[in-house]
A and B are shown apart, each in its own frame.
With several copies, the nearest count.
Chain A
Amino acid sequence: MTTIKQRQEELVKEFEFFDEWMDKYHHIIEMGKSLNALPEQKKNDNLLVQGCQSKVWLHAEKSGENILFQADADAIIAKGIIAMLIDVFNNQPAKEVAVANLGFIEEIGLKDHLSPTRANGLMSMIKQMKFYALALTD
């Protein structure tokens, strides 16, 4: 099983492949497209992540020690970003998610490249995921 750290390293490698940010965005969008959509009836307002410019729904549940995430977004770039985060965190021990260091964001240059509002959105997503993880840690 890969760890949170390993998954981040893989992501960084994936993005290193692209020189242009248009291509990186393309990759983010593809990740968004391949994320399983939340069924409509699950998209209730309780799941909305506060602080994103577009709507992002995030659902979490426990599976043994691990935490499982499901998410959706109305804008595809936001969906791609949450897909990346799910890629890193999904089915990892809740207590590790809660304290994880997310170096890949820096390394990919994601935060610098996002607008302040989008960077805020990204931070809100991470906060919400860690919050769930904390809540689900016994």
Chain B
Amino acid sequence: MSYDVQSIRQQFPILNQKIHGRPLVYLDNAATAQKPIAVIDAISNYYLNYNANVHRGVHTLSQRATDAIEAVREEVRAHINAEESAEIIFTQGITDSINTIAFGMGAVVSKEQNIVITAIEHHSNIVPWQMLCKRTGAELRHLPMNEHGELVLEGIEEIIDENTAMVAFNHISNALGTINPVEAILEHAEKVGAWTLIDGAQSGPHAKVDVRAWNVDFFTLSSHKMYGPTGLGVLYGKREKLEVLPPFQGGGEMIATVTLEESTYAGLPHKFEAGTPHIEGIIGFGAALKYINEIGIKAIAAHEKKLLKYSTVECSKIDGFKVIGDSKNKASVLSFIVDGTHPYDIGVLLDQQGVAVRTGQHCTQPIMDAFCIDGTVRASFAMYNTKKEIDLFKAALEKSITMLR
């Protein structure tokens, strides 16, 4: 079956609007994706029919809500091929997931050890580790990148060594689109017995993930980047690893027993799910996963790859256009600067023409520093974008440049 982008677009009513009198061309998908009707309906349906607090409730609505979120937990497990659904923890998002692990590792990391990240991480996969290193005295290291925005693995043995407690890196860079050599890095980490965490912010919407094939210890997703609701994330962790970490937050149902003097913690996944969960978000995310699987993540990735290639080739014809991050192995992100213009000005003028892009540092200041730039313009693609939209984008970009020069 061929990829029917028009019928997909019909599932995203938000796309069908005008901005400053021009049709919206939404190319800010790496920041957040739009939601299909199925997700919006799942949310309404929940609140119209079976909203209740979950777990421990004996009444029917509470049972329905509990069943619904536990079913999603199982779907997430299957989606990323985890071993058991108790290894799937619902969080607020990737930032929350990574902080949970970085906090917990405070109990197991010593000052002789080091944490390894990379030069192309999102702030959410930098700052929590800096905080951990500050608390424990451990050293923060990083794998460097080259001028294509690719990680450099030569010398990796010097960086990831027997004192490495954790190697944490993203699968796909949100600022550059680079697809990182996950297997090679994991292999080095495994060799020295380091724990591993993959930030899957940009994997979720664009790539097939199999945590057991990777044999990664922790993996994390944000619902809102995967066509699901805001305020929800997933933290996958191997049971044996999650069990040795202390919980990040206390309260609610994450305990087994509480006296005013002390508490004992509940088992997985509850130990890491303090407080009333984001029930609606979990249910909406279930609908988003289902929708992604209906279209097929491989079909989506193939479609986006075509858009990326077409936009790169077309825009490269523009005088002074320069791609930032030109790895051969890229997904869905076209980050660029244009000689003699400021990204910010381009963003404003594209918006005036209906085209939504992100400008700036994309929460990856170290990358920008390395390229010695203030920021880029980033066009990022999703399942519903079209070749025609790329044409509109390119035309709007050319017009903006003419005005700015």
Q: Are A and B co-members of a single complex?
A: yes
Given the known A-B contacts A21-B20, A53-B56, A115-B58, are A74 and B403 also in contact in the complex, defined by CB atoms under 8 Å?
Answer: no
Q: Is B326 an interface residue (CB 8 A)?
A: no
CB <8 Å contact, B344 and A75: yes
Given the known A-B contacts A21-B20, A76-B342, are A116 and B67 also in contact in the complex, defined by CB atoms under 8 Å?
Answer: yes
Q: Is B145 an interface residue (CB 8 A)?
A: no
Given the known A-B contacts A22-B352, A25-B348, A25-B352, are A54 and B342 also in contact in the complex, defined by CB atoms under 8 Å?
Answer: yes
Known contacts A116-B63, A116-B70, then 14 further A-B pairs from the complex at CB < 8 Å, ordered by chain A residue: A21-B20, A22-B353, A25-B349, A25-B403, A53-B344, A54-B342, A75-B344, A75-B345, A78-B344, A115-B58, A116-B67, A117-B55, A117-B56, A118-B348
Q: Which residues of B contact A118 (CB under 8 A)?
A: 58, 348
User: Once the chains are docked, how many angstroms separate the CA of A53 from the CA of B70?
Assistant: 18
CB <8 Å contact, B345 and A77: yes
Q: Which residues of A contact B56 (CB under 8 A)?
A: 53, 117
User: Once the chains are docked, how many angstroms separate the CA of A118 from the CA of B62?
Assistant: 13
Q: Is A26 an interface residue (CB 8 A)?
A: yes
Closest CB in chain A relative to B289 CB, distance in Å: 21
Q: Which residues of B contact A77 (CB under 8 A)?
A: 344-345, 348
CB <8 Å contact, A26 and B63: no
Q: Is A129 an interface residue (CB 8 A)?
A: no
What are some 18 contacts across the A-B interface (CB < 8 A)?
A22-B352, A25-B349, A29-B345, A53-B58, A54-B344, A76-B341, A76-B342, A76-B345, A77-B348, A115-B58, A115-B60, A115-B63, A116-B63, A116-B66, A116-B67, A117-B56, A118-B58, A118-B348
Closest CB in chain A relative to B255 CB, distance in Å: 16
Q: Which residues of A contact B344 (CB under 8 A)?
A: 53-54, 75, 77-78
Q: Which residues of B contact A75 (CB under 8 A)?
A: 342, 344-345
* CB nearest neighbor in A for B63: A115
User: Once the chains are docked, how many angstroms separate the CA of A121 from the CA of B63?
Assistant: 14
* CB nearest neighbor in A for B22: A22
Closest CB in chain B relative to A84 CB, distance in Å: 15
Q: Is B374 an interface residue (CB 8 A)?
A: yes
| Cβ contacts B44-85/A at 8 Å (1 or 0 each) | 000000000001111010110011001000000000000000
Closest CB in chain B relative to A64 CB, distance in Å: 36
Q: Which residues of B contact A76 (CB under 8 A)?
A: 341-342, 345, 404
Q: Which residues of A contact B58 (CB under 8 A)?
A: 53, 115, 117-118
Q: Which residues of B contact A22 (CB under 8 A)?
A: 349, 352-353, 403
Q: From residue 84 to 121 of chain A, which have CB atoms closer than 8 A to chain B? A: 115-118
What are the 5 closest A-B residue pairs judged by CB atoms, nearest first? A75-B342, A115-B63, A75-B344, A75-B345, A54-B344
* CB nearest neighbor in B for A76: B345
User: Once the chains are docked, how many angstroms separate the CA of A29 from the CA of B342?
Assistant: 12
User: Once the chains are docked, how many angstroms separate the CA of A115 from the CA of B70?
Assistant: 13
User: Once the chains are docked, how many angstroms separate the CA of A14 from the CA of B121?
Assistant: 47
Of B20, B63, B360, B404, which one neighbours A29 at CB under 8 angstroms?
A: B404
CB <8 Å contact, B348 and A74: no
* CB nearest neighbor in B for A115: B63
User: Once the chains are docked, how many angstroms separate the CA of A99 from the CA of B32?
Assistant: 43
Closest CB in chain A relative to B6 CB, distance in Å: 29
| Cβ contacts B13-40/A at 8 Å (1 or 0 each) | 0000000100000000000000000000
CB <8 Å contact, B342 and A74: yes
Q: From residue 381 to 405 of chain B, which have CB atoms closer than 8 A to chain A? A: 403-404
Closest CB in chain B relative to A136 CB, distance in Å: 28
Closest CB in chain B relative to A22 CB, distance in Å: 5
| Cβ contacts B78-98/A at 8 Å (1 or 0 each) | 000000000000000000000
User: Once the chains are docked, how many angstroms separate the CA of A134 from the CA of B177?
Assistant: 49
Q: Which residues of A contact B349 (CB under 8 A)?
A: 22, 25
CB <8 Å contact, A74 and B374: yes
User: Once the chains are docked, how many angstroms separate the CA of A56 from the CA of B361?
Assistant: 18
* CB nearest neighbor in A for B67: A116
* CB nearest neighbor in A for B352: A22
Q: Which residues of B contact A54 (CB under 8 A)?
A: 342, 344
User: Once the chains are docked, how many angstroms separate the CA of A75 from the CA of B344?
Assistant: 7
* CB nearest neighbor in B for A73: B342
Closest CB in chain B relative to A24 CB, distance in Å: 9
Q: Which residues of B contact A116 (CB under 8 A)?
A: 63, 66-67, 70
Q: Which residues of A contact B63 (CB under 8 A)?
A: 115-117
User: Once the chains are docked, how many angstroms separate the CA of A53 from the CA of B360?
Assistant: 9
CB <8 Å contact, A26 and B403: yes
Given the known A-B contacts A54-B344, A76-B342, A116-B63, are A29 and B403 also in contact in the complex, defined by CB atoms under 8 Å?
Answer: yes
User: Once the chains are docked, how many angstroms separate the CA of A77 from the CA of B345?
Assistant: 6
Q: From residue 66 to 81 of chain A, which have CB atoms closer than 8 A to chain B? A: 74-78
Q: From residue 326 to 344 of chain B, which have CB atoms closer than 8 A to chain A? A: 341-342, 344
Closest CB in chain B relative to A110 CB, distance in Å: 13
Given the known A-B contacts A74-B374, A77-B344, are A21 and B404 also in contact in the complex, defined by CB atoms under 8 Å?
Answer: no
Q: Which residues of A contact B342 (CB under 8 A)?
A: 54, 74-76
